[in-house]
Structure 1
């Protein structure tokens, strides 16, 4: 669920620690807490995180990120107010942490300073109590470490994106080098064979009257050279005609002549790499094949939406459906291919209810 977002384990670990401390405090009679509201607040936080990661696998846009930040701040306040252990204040370090990914370093630092100031203002006579001073210092250290960890995570994601771009550039350069090599092969190989053909035909013409057997051998040699030249040309031209993979033409060719399949494609595929587009194509291919072979579907719909945040492919049919435990080798292979490209595969199916297969792939994060 969290695989495409930086440091996905941070929030769940902190939620678990706060939940454990709160329940322990309630069981031990420590503090004045309201366990039901405390538990519901943490459950809502987990649900919000899961919904956000599902809707925005790579990065949350600015407006939704701001709204979610405010909702989290309100829930953190609720959990802290109903927690008998007093540990819930640590949840506020997640505000600058999440803000770093959406708004950048300056906003995260400003929010961290605001959280520390709020903690100071809501701690009465903190300066007269060494324990409270220690708590505030630890909270400040936690804010600094959190912002630092967010910066490291962003830098790592940026480096990974650059590495992926470098890999694609290397692939393009390798392809160009291979095309140049094939062009040289055509020039050198074809020129050699055509020269041999000309020489042998001239020899046959010269010896036709004097030595018919030698003329026949020359014609045979010319024929063999011509066949070899044709084979070389076919091999070289086949390599030269290889083009970068394009999803829309491939899908059009896939459904050509099949009236039971409808295709809708929206958006541009320019921001997606070959591996991602190939994964989408293979998923559509497998989905259509399964719908025809196993589900006895009469209507299949393939929808592709490509935007700046993510690519979403949906293959739905009106077939007989299947139980999820019945996933075969093809679906398992599809899931592995999609996850290898950094995406997620979801299947919604039941006996007699048709099947809806959804593949979501995040666009490569901008450097």
Structure 2
């Protein structure tokens, strides 16, 4: 039944019931109208309006559910669908809405895959330029400063050695940035070695207590799954350093019969009521690319816990 005929039918039921009540009820209207008759008429009108409102609310409930879902739907949390109530206009409307969500999620996943692929390619290019161009230039400057310091008199030698030390620290920072942009250890030595290097570097530069628990004999994963696990860990640690005000971080990597699960838990102030920023939404987009489940909630002892469950390949699972 279409929306027009649904509303028309509900109103017809109420008006028909009121008409039948007037026909068979011992109620008459005098001229002029008596007070008791006016009270009965006004009361009947009120009952009819209340009944009409109740029936309309029941009849339009699917439309209200659809409206609420439209205001809360998030394409980064797929699978939010409404049940289709039988047949008719409402069922067709809800089916169209569900089909629209299917198309939007597919298009969002496709566009996100392209964007993230381009992002990774740009990161590799920048990391390569930092390593080849900037790194080599700074290495040449460092060697030149060393030769100049060896030949310089004592007062100038101290200043050149200080400049040499600053250049060496800058070169180390450039190399660290290049490793963050392009985790070569991930491609060469695998996920566990990459996460170990990441957490060690993070602890060195932030001073936080980082505790690792990596289950041995992790199942082999393809490059895309390993890269998502690495990037989510990287972004989670970055958020912890910037916002959590934490003293300790735990990085836990384990596997189940169906998935590889990464937990990153801190003892900071928690995520609270703050909205999700670009970093968290970026993690959700990466998780969607490999059909992984990402949860961000309060940790067991407070703070924040990021959980990423990456399904294992079908043949491996």
| TM-score tier after normalising by the smaller chain length | 0.3 to 0.5
TM-score, normalised to structure 2, is 0.47
